Amino acid sequence: MVSKIDLRIPAEGGIELGAWLFLPKSSGVRPAITMAHGFAGIREHGIEPFAVAFAEAGFIVLLHEHRNFGVSGGEPRGDVDPWRQIADWRRMISYLEARPEVDSDRIGIWGTSYAGGHAMVLGATDRRLRCVVAQVPTISGYEQGLRRVAPDAVPTLEEAFNADERTQLLGAPLTRQAVVSSDPTVPAAYRSRDAIDFYLQPIPSGLWDNEITLRSTRQARMYEPGAWIARVSPTPLLMIIAKEDRLTVADLALAAYERALEPKRLALLPGGHFDPYLGQFAKAEAAATSWFREHLLVPTGVS
């Protein structure tokens, strides 16, 4: 039976990040997995089932919530800064290292979507991690933006970014937009039906708002985690890619996988970006669990 502990973990800036710690039935010092959700989501957005499955497989699992979202502290609310999120994630790794039941030499990372990009950056820059799982990861904010925003709409979007910067100089509040909307008159990060259904799934009241800062979109369009992929090696990398992913874009992910160095593995699933959380969950979870077993169950120095 897996136990779940609700935590608040101190982070830079005097805030606390909400986290769930999942402890497996087996006792003693165990390997651990650190996890986080994707762009503008919270822990309740389809992530907990993965954490439970990993804990049932014998791993200690820390699933944290990014600052400015859910129960985590931080202002402005709904602001997504990828590099701030990466810095916070390093704090989560340090927290796991300090837990007495965690083998600090056997910590793996699992990230999905935007956080899948973070997992690759951390895998390339933090050698405390023994292995990496990047599920439907963001590869290139610029290239993804070219696919999702029509060329004739780009000047209007850029002017909105610039207007937001100018009004901030005058002390005005940050411009905000919806995370998802089907209404073309409402500024939104995503408009696809599958994104709307995923983000607007039933969530406990008060934990999530369908709103982010406009500058979150600008920062997303500047974020290039795929540039780090060749540097993940020699840390083992598993990429889980959905064949029909049009959000983080399957062909970009497949091309990035080709640039990655060994050791690496590819799990190619049917369906779109959100299917690993839904109809393809069993395959996505099994691929990740197998990778963690392969690289975390053997203590360091034991062959």
Instruction: Dump pLDDT digits (tens) for 39-69.
Output: 999 999 999 999 999 999 999 999 999 999 9
In one-letter notation, the amino acid at residue 160 is A
Under a CB-based contact definition with an 8 Å cutoff, are residues 267 and 241 in contact?
Answer: yes
Please state, as a whole number, how many other Cβ atoms lie within 10 Å of the Cβ of residue 143.
Answer: 17
> How many angstroms separate the Cα of 202 from the Cα of each of 44, 91, 199?
9, 30, 9
Please state, as a whole number, how many other Cβ atoms lie within 10 Å of the Cβ of residue 13.
Answer: 11
Beta strands (DSSP E) in the chain are 3-11, 15-23, 30-36, 60-64, 102-112, 129-135, 176-180, 188-190, 212-213, 237-242, 264-269
Under a CB-based contact definition with an 8 Å cutoff, are residues 267 and 245 in contact?
Answer: no
pLDDT over 60 at 254, yes or no: yes
pLDDT over 70 at 301, yes or no: no
Please state, as a whole number, how many other Cβ atoms lie within 10 Å of the Cβ of residue 32.
Answer: 28
Tell which CATH classification among 3.40.50.10800, 3.20.10.10, 3.40.50.1820, 1.10.3720.10 matches the domain 3-169+220-296.
3.40.50.1820
Question: What is the structure's pLDDT at 118?
Answer: 98
Instruction: Dump pLDDT digits (tens) for 174-212.
Output: 999 999 999 999 999 999 999 999 999 999 888 999 999
Instruction: Dump pLDDT digits (tens) for 141-184.
Output: 999 999 989 899 999 999 999 999 999 999 999 999 999 999 99
Cis peptide before 24 (omega within 30 of 0): no
